Structures are given as C-alpha cells and as structure tokens.
Structure 1
Amino acid sequence: MKSRVVAVLAGTVLAVGLAGGAAAQIRLDRPAGGGGGGLGGGGGAPQQQTNVIERISPEAAVRVLQSAGFKGGQMLNLDGGLKAVKMEVNGTPVVVGLVDCKQDGCSSYLFLTNFGKQQVNADFLNRFNSNNRFARLYTNDDGAVVLQLDGQLYGGVGPGNFAVSGAIFGNALKTLLSN
C-alpha cells in the first residue's frame, strides 16, 4: 500500500469519524514518557496456522475488538473500497479504517486517533516513537497530532492477530495519555 494513499485515507477517516469528538480536548503538550517494552519470547520455528483469515468484515472487526476491550462500533459510510468503524478505548475515540474492501471483507486496517492541533515538537514525537513499536505518533498536514497503527491480513494470519493489533494500539494510547 502506498504511503500517500494511507495519508489520504487517514485524513478522510479522521475527519469523518472524529469530527467534534472528545479527542480534540486531549492535550499532548507535556513530556513524553517511556512505555513500549518488548514482546519477549521467541524461539523455535513458526507453527503452521490451520485457521487463518485473509479478510475481515466491519461487523467481525467490531466483535473482535470488543473482545479486546474496545467499546461501541458505529459504522461510518465512506467511498472507494474503504470502510470505517468508530469505537472507543478507555474513553478515547478511535477510528478503525478497513482498507481494500470487497464482498468477502477487507484485507488491511488502520487504527487512528486524532488529537487535533497540539503544541508538540519533533522531540516529543520522536521520544514517543522511539519508545513504542508498531503505533506511530505524527503531525499530519493540517497540524493535527495522530496516533496510528497499520496492519494487514494478506496471506492469512491467525484469527487473534487482529485483536492483538487492537490491544497494542490500546496500550500505545494508554501510554501516551498517562504521561
């Protein structure tokens, strides 16, 4: 997926999904903290998955994310092979954008939270990003600070992979807001 497409997609999803929400009230202009931490483990050869998914429907995405602690699940109507769901994690609005959607589901996804325009500098963003893997904090073209995590189901992944991505995003969000 090209980064320009992701940027346009992220802007569209954020504008539609979080307009006027509580996310604009969250302040990030304070010192960034640590967080992150490794996943540990490892070792051994990868196990063959017998039950894999390559696409997920918005409805299935909501069910999976609710099991991972997300609340809500308002479907958003968008054009161009994109679907989105507005949810909440720990009281913070999150838009889950589903990309490359066809009749049998969507093969890629984005978790996004828009904090609106903030007085943060590159050091703040870099400190957060260097301490947290997978989710990235950045300033978009409009000056809004965005937390984003991307994922793909191409080639098939275990059914729990999508829920784990949601949990990782929720943890990054919690780390960001706890500092």
Structure 2
Amino acid sequence: MQRSVARWESAATVPDERYQLLLAHLYVRTPSGDLAAAAGSDLAEFLDALGQLGESADRIAELRTTLIRTATDGAVLNAAVAHDHFARSAAALTAPREQVQRAIVAMDQALARIRMNDPRAAAELLHDCITAATSAGGRVPAIRLRRARQELRPWRREDFVADLDDHLMDIVDT
C-alpha cells in the first residue's frame, strides 16, 4: 500500500475513483486509528491534492460523502465527535443567563451538519434550537437560526424543511 501511495504521489496524475476511495480511507485514519477529516488533517491534504491535480469539486464532494458513509456507517466523521462535545457543553449550560449560549451552540451544531451535507439531521436539531432561541431570547441565536434556515434553501421542497418552517410559523404566531 505504501508503495502504491508513493507512486501516485510522485506522478502528476489523478488516481481512478476506486483508488481515490481507498486512499481516502487510508488518509482519514490517524496513527492511533481515530478518524480525522478537519482542516489540516491528512484527508484534507489528500482532497486538496486531488483538486490541484484537476479533480472536479463535485467528485471531491462525492468522495467525501462516500467516505463518511463507509468509514462511519452513516455517521459524520469529526462532526460526530464535535456533536458529542457540543452536546455535553450545551447540556452543561443550565443557568438562565447561559441559555442564550446554549442556543448559540445548538445553532452552530445545526450549521455544521448542513455544511457536512446532512440537512435532515440539521433540521431535527433546529427544532430544538427554535424552542431554545424563543425561550432564551437574544439577538445572536435569532441571527444564527436565520442563517441556518437560509442554508437549508436547497432542500426547501423536502418535508423536513416544511416541518421546520411550520414550527417557525407556530412560534411566530404565538
């Protein structure tokens, strides 16, 4: 495997799709066996190299999606770890003045899920965010909620977005 990687890295060609996925699986793992896909990770560098060698942005996005599904059984790589971290952090924010911060953290989680191409999970999380933002008040949660809803526009015809819009309208009407 290492020889194959070295041969590819020394040539100015793009490996075929199967080999790209194989390499992505290799690069997503840290030496300790954990999954890492954030900026600066080996995977991010690999995907950047593919782009520099002329691979299309659509193919790179497709590769990332396939990798996420196959490496994690449908879960999201670093987003899953980040979700757990944020969920624990948000749960710890229980005092009334911390409720605004809790709503902000939840909104950021939803935005991350949208950016990781998991809009359905983002919409589910946003239902809780709507309630948290309404009870906590504050300008920043409202701004983040608006931004998250704007980023869901590509899925505006999906039932999960319509349900979210209904929830928003119910809150506005009360």
TM-score (norm 1): 0.21
- Larger helix proportion of the pair: 2
Q: Work out which structure has the larger RCO, using CA pairs closer than 8 Å and 6 or more positions apart in sequence.
A: 1
- Larger strand proportion of the pair: 1
TM-score (norm 2): 0.21
Report which of the two structures shows the higher radius of gyration computed on alpha carbons.
2
